[in-house]
Amino acid sequence: MYGSKTILFLAFFGIAILSGCSETGSARSQGNAARPLITPEAVSTSPKIVAFGDSLTAGFGLAEPESYPYLLQQRLKAEGYNYEVINAGVSGDTSLGGLERADWVLGQENVEILILELGANDLLRAMPVNRMKSNLDQIIRKAKAKNVKVLLCGMLAPPTMGGDYSRDYINAFPDLADEHDVEFLPFLLEGVATKRELNQADGIHPNAEGTRVMTENIFSALKPLLSR
């Protein structure tokens, strides 16, 4: 189903899970409640796209202009779209952390689209898939209740997690997309995973160039939701 490079990424990701080599190390001890709920102040009345996720959204290890929400903002402007992109990423966040702050994030004015990128830290902590799926389900329901369109970003699980867990985890994302009829990006890190030149030293988080590729993945999946 996936290429050999993706399988190598999953194998490395499995090592990361077992050794705990992730930015979530400190977050584990602090808990979600210890992390501030930070998002840039609204600066316009333009319709908003909320980039809602974990370190991949927040731009872990990157300068702000290298983060995907910033790059997406520039891409949208270049294509003639009048949206304001809000970076609502929190490094180390889980699906539960996202659910706990979903009302606050969705309560901003003029939110039109939610890019939902959560679940990788649930995997790192080996959280039950049904619990993660329930949390994401509730976030999507909250967004749709406010007539906010959703782009759901999927992630893969390594075989080291066990066959049943890996299968259930991978399938959770397309199952949710089908159930709620939302746009779906199957693998956020397509074209980035396993490529050393596109990743930071941990082999998991994209570097500046890798984030550009990730932004293009998101932009392509986002286009059906955009209006001029």
Provide CB contacts within 8 A for 63, sequence distance 6+: 208
Residue with tokens 């990701």: 13
In whole angstroms, what separates CA 208 from the centre of its chain?
16
55 catalytic, yes or no?
A: yes
Q: Name the active-site residue from 55, 67, 91, 166.
A: 55
Closest CA to 58 of 127, 115, 113: 115
29 catalytic, yes or no?
A: no
Q: Name the active-site residue from 175, 178, 202, 220.
A: 202
Determine whether 1 is exposed, middle or buried from the number of CB atoms within 10 Å of its CB (0-12, 13-18, 19+): exposed
Closest CA to 38 of 119, 77, 93: 93
205 catalytic, yes or no?
A: yes
The pair of structure tokens assigned to 149 is 């369109």
Per DSSP, the chain holds a count of helices (H) and strands (E) of: 9, 5
Q: What's the CA gap between 127 and 129, in Å, rounded?
A: 6
Q: Name the active-site residue from 67, 122, 168, 205.
A: 205
Determine whether 220 is exposed, middle or buried from the number of CB atoms within 10 Å of its CB (0-12, 13-18, 19+): exposed
The pair of structure tokens assigned to 136 is 């994401």
Q: Please give the positions annotated as active site.
A: 55, 202, 205
